[in-house]
Structure 1
Amino acid sequence: MFIINLTYIKPIEEVEKYLNEHIAFLNKYYDNKNFICSGRKNPRTGGVILCNAKDMKEVEGIINEDPFKKNTIAAYEIVEFQPTKYAEDFKIFVE
């Protein structure tokens, strides 16, 4: 499991230009069952994605498709972790 932490490095006006493309990217990986949840930071300085992937290489490949990455809109920090305690409904993501 991975936490993808995006931090905007361009003004919000630039972020908005690529937002629809970014949402399409998110939808693709929700459909592929890689993304579990995502959302904006508050204040709006970036976003967070909870990602289920087999390894760091897969996550990096996914991120490279993000229009925010392709257009240098955001910087990315990836944190890998192993869920050891979770709500029962979350179990489907860690099996």
Structure 2
Amino acid sequence: MQHFLLEGQHLVPFESLGDLVEQHHAFLQRGYDAGHFLFSGPQIPAHGGFLVARAQSREALDALLAEEPFVKANKMRFVRITQFDAAQYQPSLSTWFGQAAD
């Protein structure tokens, strides 16, 4: 399993994303339920956000991210996707870093 730190950038003011926020949250929840996402949250101020994800490959991650509602509407892009190895982490995260996602 490969791990990634993603930085998203809104291409429009956050206020104009209102019609997609519910779909965005549903997308994230599906990712959490499937074991793909560890945490996510907006930047302050809300110009974008961060996401820690895992996938079998970068290609699998890209396919997953292509379904993100803000991205599909061309209102957000991922400006940085960095693969990393989790060399150290809190013991409570050992299941997530050691367990394969579907």
Whether 1:24 and 2:8 are equivalent positions in the alignment is: no
4+ residue stretches of structure 1 with deviation over 4 A?
none
Shift of residue 93 of structure 1?
1.6
Separation in structure 2 between the aligned mates of residue 50 and residue 11 of structure 1, nearest angstrom: 23
Q: TM-score, normalised by structure 1?
A: 0.94
Q: Alpha-carbon deviations, 1:51-78, whole Å to 9, x = none?
A: 0211101110111000111001111021
Whether 1:86 and 2:89 are equivalent positions in the alignment is: yes
CA contact (8 A) 1:5 1:48 kept: yes
| Unmatched runs of 5 consecutive residues or more in structure 1 | none
CA contact (8 A) 2:36 2:55 kept: yes
> Within 5 A, what are the aligned runs for 1:1-95?
1-76=3-78, 77-95=80-98
Moved more, 9-18 or 75-84: 9-18
| AA aligned opposite 2:14 | I
Separation in structure 2 between the aligned mates of residue 43 and residue 31 of structure 1, nearest angstrom: 28
More strand by share: 2
CA contact (8 A) 2:13 2:47 kept: no
Q: CA RMSD in A?
A: 1.0
Q: Give the paired residue count.
A: 95
> 1:26 aligns to what SS in structure 2?
helix
